[in-house]
Structure 1
Amino acid sequence: MARKTTELWHTGIVAAPIAGLMTSDALHSAEIHWLPDPGAFRFIADPFGIWRQGRLTILAEALDYRVKRGEIHYFILDETGGVAAQGLALREPFHLSYPVLLTEGDDVFMLPEGHRSGKLTLYRAEHFPDRWLPAQTLLDLPAIDASPVRYGGRWWMFFALPGDDNRAMRELHVAFADSLHGPWHLHPANPVRNGLDSARPGGTPFEHDGTLHLPTQDCVGGYGRGISLLRFDMLSETRVETSVVSSLKPQGLRGGWDDGLHTLSAAGNVTLIDVKRLDPSPGRVWIDLQRRLRRLLP
């Protein structure tokens, strides 16, 4: 019997803006500072960041395999890149991940992935970064890794949907709106892109040379194996044309973490990434058993 492996992710801060990391060479030559290890059978993934009062705050998925339900945690970095404060940002009865951060005036919004709720919910910070309230439902769909951006005078949102045959990893869907708060309209050409190599969103959309780009996950051979940078050669309410302009791989970014790279998100003059390793430790079997027993006990 093959030994069960545990998927672990580790978050890093790259000392370069996202538009300067459009090739693997650029990413591998950049300085990377890594968040502290969260401990055995835990990981920090899907990092998104925002600068406030001169400090970078990162929100990310935090998962402990003893519970196996993602929460959103925050990490406030000091001037040296060390973690000055950290804690729980958002917990729901369902799994949370991919906490995209947006600002509008003085308000800070978070758009986490919570597709098991059956809808896409926008949250507003009542007290940043540790108290969030649901603001509104943007889509009555179980959208996965929704990535909104204002471009060309309107809002666009890129996302995946759950389904059979790895649908969440092979179809890219689009919606558009005049305002972040909607109403959002599904693109008539959905899904606008098919293929395991470059469909599921993997970070923040960004402009480069006047054209919109979207980090997407390369899932050929497994979930989140690398990043494919997608360029939108045409983006309108009726047509979408895309092409892959580069591929980013995890090998060599952090020793022993060569099994995946599935987030590339912009935070001003830095970029946030996560890398994966598959841990063969047999302790995972005992952790899974304990979790199942707790669910059975009253």
Structure 2
Amino acid sequence: MTVTSLDLPELDAKPGGDAQAAVVPLRIGLLLDSPQALHHLYQLVLWARKQPALAITHLIVHAPVQGGTPPWDRMLAAMLRGLMRAEGMVLRRTYRGHLTRHDLARSIPERLDIAAPMPGANGHIQFDVAAVDQVRALGLDLLLGFGPATVDARMAAAARIGTLWMRYGRGGVAPAAGFDECRHAEPATGFAIERIDGTRRVLRAGRVGTRVSYLENQAHLYRKADVHLRALLTGIATTGTLPSPAGAPVPGLARPRARDLLGYAGRLFKRAAIKGTQRALRMRRKFGISILQGSWRNADLRQAVEVTAPRGRFWADPFLWTGPDGRVVCFVEDYRYATGRAHISALEIVGHRAVDLGAVIVEPYHMSFPYLFAYEGALYMCPECSGSGQIRVYRCAEFPLKWELAAVLMENVSAADTVLFPRDGKWWLLTSMDPADVKDHCSELYLFSGPSPLGTDWTPCAANPVRIDPAGGRNAGLIMDGGRIYRLAQRQGFDRYGEGLIVNEVLAVSDEAYREREVRRIDPDFGRRLIGSHHMTSTGTVTVVDHVRREFVF
């Protein structure tokens, strides 16, 4: 047994000074097969330093599994690492540090080296009694591990509360994490946080949108999933117990083969060539809207009539409102290719025509999703303006063209496509957030409640995020019909934003939980050359849907 202690007094400094001195933090041990770890684990350690209620006190390092790795597997791992290095040269700035390795032994106060485990059944690795006793003697509250192979029941019980295991995609952990989903061009890549106690039970799980390149998909998955790992650790530190299993299925594992790497590389080059050609020819995604005179229920969207925005613009994210004079006005995202951003404009719906009334709200950042609601006799709009770092609400001073800022509901948030509605004496706010700060609002849906839609007192739902899935994690409108509430949600595809729509009926909403059921799906099969549809609105007698296709834009 080798135990190393580091003199790192700054690691013991927790925010709060003397007021926090009496706090006994949750003691966590990281169980790894090497002290050299990717950047996301180093970031986890840095985050834990700042938490008064928990501390990563021990790094437990075991030697490679006895029996070694077969030569073929070593070769595949080397090929994957080579692919990672190649893709790392063109990785987006957001993920640029992903491949940086850190010696965690320099950042965690105590290190314990234990004997190599033996391979066991059902994907477990088996530690000898001496290794288990050494870990138990550390007095840890929680053991945390990563990867495709989990520990046996004896090691899992070595910490007071138990053992958590983190899995990223079907690959489990680097170098294979995120590869299989990208190779198959799947729209989502999953993660799971499991409780290990002789069985595998999922405590938290989610899916995030799959990126086009394998390495970016892996980096994106780590950033997104680790936010929820941190939230779970914080909750355990607060309650002192593990939460109940989520009921999600235990994820399967996939090991790439040499031919899989070759096939992936070929498809990646093909995609890059197609995208390069499209850019050179100025073929861009162009949204549009279509009008249907009729209800949204069982609507035959093939009968909808498309209206065209002026040259150099497109209209999307339609929201309908019937004014006091009976005019039906559609508020839209009005995107200008010349500036690369949009403002909010108004269109009067006359039969199957849309009359451009002009801009209604223009800010120095991109705006879209002009969600409308009534409150105390006035009309309000909550547009998407994530570039401001706020959730803002505007009041209509004169319908439909004059609007003024009425309230800022939240500050310093990265939130998109917010909807508000009253129910059971409260106002409810559903919004898509990006706590990982990777400019992706397509998978995590958060719920809040408050006494007023114009206030700043918002209580988060205990189940937040209430959905982690690119199929439904971003709002696409809200329809109130016959006393029922229908949340429209976007469905993302692989490398395709806004591939389709899901209509969900809201069944239950509270400070503890949120439930909805899918009642309809809308695919982009109602118009010529459509590749997506991501928004719908209806007054009950007029329905407007948006859609997207690739077109030459000059």
TM over 0.5: yes
**Counterpart pick for 2:380 among 89, 109, 112:** 109
Q: For residues 221-232 of structure 1, what are the structure 2 equivalents within 5 Å?
A: 221=494, 222-232=496-506
Q: Would the alpha carbon gap of residues 84 and 62 (structure 1) be closer, same or farther in structure 2, given more than 3 Å must change?
A: closer
Among 465, 468, 475, the alignment partner of 1:194 is 468
Higher strand share: 1
Structure 1 match to 2:317: 46
Matched, 1:261 2:539: no
Query: How far 1:166 moved relative to its partner?
Result: 7.0
Deviations 1:80-115 (A, max 9, x none): 343445111110001000001122344221111001
Higher RCO (Cα < 8 Å, 6 or more apart): 1
Unaligned runs of 5+ in 2: 1-272
Out of 284, 299, 311, the residue aligned to residue 6 of structure 1 is 284
Q: 1:213 aligns with which of 459, 462, 486?
A: 486
How far residue 33 of structure 1 moved from its aligned partner, in angstroms, is 3.1
> Is the 8 Å Cα contact of residues 415 and 441 (structure 2) preserved in structure 1?
no
Counterpart of 2:340 in 1: which secondary structure? coil
Which structure 2 residues correspond to residues 238-249 of structure 1 after superposition, within 5 A? 238-249=512-523
Aligned partners of 1:217 and 1:6: how far apart in 2? 20
Q: Is the 8 A contact 2:460 2:511 kept in 1?
A: no
- Paired residue for 2:390? 119
Name the CA distance, whole Å, in 2 between partners of 1:42 and 1:263. 18
1:134 offset after TM fit, Å?
A: 0.6
Are residues 151 and 7 of structure 1, via their aligned partners in 2, closer, same or farther at CA, if it must alter by over 3 Å? same
Instruction: Measure, in 2, the Cα distance between the counterparts of 1:232 and 1:69.
Output: 32
Q: 1:19-44: CA deviations, max 9, x gaps?
A: x14xxxx3336x323333322x4210
**1:238 match: secondary structure:** coil
Q: Aligned to 2:379, what secondary structure does the other structure show?
A: strand
**Aligned equivalents of 1:66, 1:117: Cα separation in 2:** 21
Q: In 2, distance between residues paired with 1:37 and 1:179?
A: 36
Residue 173 (1) aligns with residue 451 (2):
no
Deviation at 1:213, TM superposition (A): 2.4
CA distance in 1, matches of 2:414, 2:305: 34
1:66 corresponding residue in structure 2: 338
TM-score, reference length from structure 2: 0.46
Pick aligned residue for 1:151 from 423, 426, 435? 423
- Counterpart for residue 292 of structure 1: none
**Please, what is the CA RMSD of the aligned residues?**
2.1
Distance 1:114 1:165 in 2: 16
Q: Which amino acid aligns with 1:177?
A: G
**Structure in which a larger fraction of residues adopt helix:** 2
Q: Does 1:17 align with 2:288?
A: no
**Relative to 1, partners in 2 of residues 1:174 and 1:205: Cα closer, same or farther, differing over 3 Å?**
farther
SS in 2 for 1:201: strand
Provide the residue aligned with 1:290 in structure 2.
none
Matched, 1:235 2:506: no
Deviations 1:128-174 (A, max 9, x none): 22221110111222320001122333222211013456741111111
Secondary structure (helix, strand or coil) at the match of 1:223 reads strand
Partner letter of residue 441 of structure 2?
Answer: A
SS state at 2:441 partner: helix
Structure 1 residues 178 and 260, CA gap change in structure 2 (3 angstroms): same
User: Is 2:408 aligned against 1:134?
Assistant: no
Task: Output the CA distance in 2 between the equivalents of 1:33 and 1:152.
Answer: 38
Residue type at the aligned position of 1:203: G
Give the conservation status (yes or no) of the 8 Å contact 1:77–1:85.
no
Q: Relative to structure 1, is the Cα distance of residues 17 and 206 closer, same or farther in structure 2, using a 3 angstrom cutoff?
A: same
Find out whether 1:89 has 2:363 as its counterpart. Answer: no
CA apart distance, 1:176: 1.5
Supply the distance in 2 between the matched residues of 1:89 and 1:191 (Cα, whole angstroms).
33
SS, match of residue 116 in structure 1:
helix
- Following superposition, the deviation at residue 124 of structure 1 comes to 0.9
Output the amino acid matched with 1:90: I
